[in-house]
Amino acid sequence: MKKETNIDKELERFDQRLEEMGIRFKDANQFKVREDVFDDVTLLALYKLVHKKWLSVIGGSISTGKEANVFYGEREGAGIAIKIYRIRTANFTTMSSYITGDPRFSHVKKSKKELIFAWTRKEFSNLVRARNAGIAVPEPMVWDRNILIMSFIGEGERPYPQLRNADLNDPSKTYGWILHAIDVLYKKAELVHADLSEFNILYGDQLYFIDMGQSVTRDHPRALPFLMRDIKNINRFFKNRCDIRTDVEIFNDITGRNEAEQ
Ligand SMILES: Nc1ncnc2c1ncn2[C@@H]1O[C@H](COP(=O)(O)OP(=O)(O)OP(=O)(O)O)[C@@H](O)[C@H]1O
Ligand SMILES: [Mg+2]
């Protein structure tokens, strides 16, 4: 009981603190966002991160996705992105299929919360792996429960546009870069992005892959179909923009397999 009371008090203080920190809710339905995103678990995790000085300002909402909300934030004056997986509304059936095949996370208990925390940790470690292989991705800084903090990819408080909204001055070059990044991700980081599309690539001073929570290791049973899907998505986007290679040709090149054209 005593512990609960302390947490309640702490949350009350945190609420005040959020106000002091100038948290702004730019979403139309701010009360819903607050309820869906900032439940007690999340507030406590945020509070800890603030306390450990991982962030000093929580700014406006950048995105409300299927499973997560992304906010702009600041740490020591530098921009950060705060990605918060929603414990209430996340889609667990899909999530668990990505986690179960991954040996790194095979021990994860299947409760809803556990799964979300594992997912957050998985995105963090995928970003580390990708970055270590030299792929341009946001720099992962810290995670706690359902919150991931990473470097902010953008200018001021505005994220760079997603590839689908970018003005491509040399589509062929961009296409080549993306294929190369998929190849390095597979060969060096031994990962398949598994949700690659014009939505999850930011286009600014250079290209960045983002959103790697669902990325899987090469030994995941569905790694190859995921890789093929990524390739198809990229080819679909570029087919009216520049000359493209066939799906199978790219797939064989990356995997060293010899699948026949269909
Ligand atoms: N590190 C970052 N820097 C700047 N903006 C970011 C960063 N990470 C995410 N964003 C912004 O938030 C948007 C959504 O991010 P992301 O794709 O990671 O989540 P999501 O698609 O909502 O995830 P999910 O579909 O799993 O819920 C991006 O398109 C981008 O505009
Ligand atoms: Mg996304």
What is the residue extent of each domain of the chain?
Answer: 2-155, 161-255
Position in ligand 1 atom list of the atom nearest CA 85? 27
What integer pLDDT is reported at residue 183 of this predicted model?
A: 98
pLDDT score, position 5: 66
* Alpha carbons 235 and 232: distance in angstroms, whole number: 5
pLDDT of residue 4: 58
- Which pLDDT belongs to residue 102? 84
| Alpha carbon nearest to ligand 1 atom 14, residue | 63
pLDDT at 89: 74
Q: What's the pLDDT at 28?
A: 43
pLDDT value of residue 108: 72
CATH 3.30.200.20 applies to domain 2-155: yes
pLDDT of 56 reads 84
Enumerate the active-site residues: 195, 211
10 CA to middle of ligand 1, Å?
30
| Under 8 Å between Cβ of 233 and 196 | yes
Alpha-carbon distance of 50 to 144, in angstroms, equals 11
pLDDT at 231: 98
Task: For ligand 1, say whether the CB of 149 is within 6 Å of any of its atoms.
Answer: no
Which CATH architecture best describes the domain 161-255?
A: Orthogonal Bundle (1.10)
**The pairing of beta strand 191-192 with beta strand 147-151:** unpaired
How far is ligand 1, taken at its centre, from the CA of residue 148, in Å? Answer: 11
The segments of the chain whose pLDDT lies below 70 read: 1-8, 10-11, 14-15, 17-18, 20-34, 109, 262
Phi, psi at 148, each rounded to 5°:
-120, 130
pLDDT at position 38 is 81
| Atom of ligand 1 at shortest range from CA of 138 | 1
Q: State if residue 204 touches ligand 1 by the CB under 6 angstroms criterion.
A: no
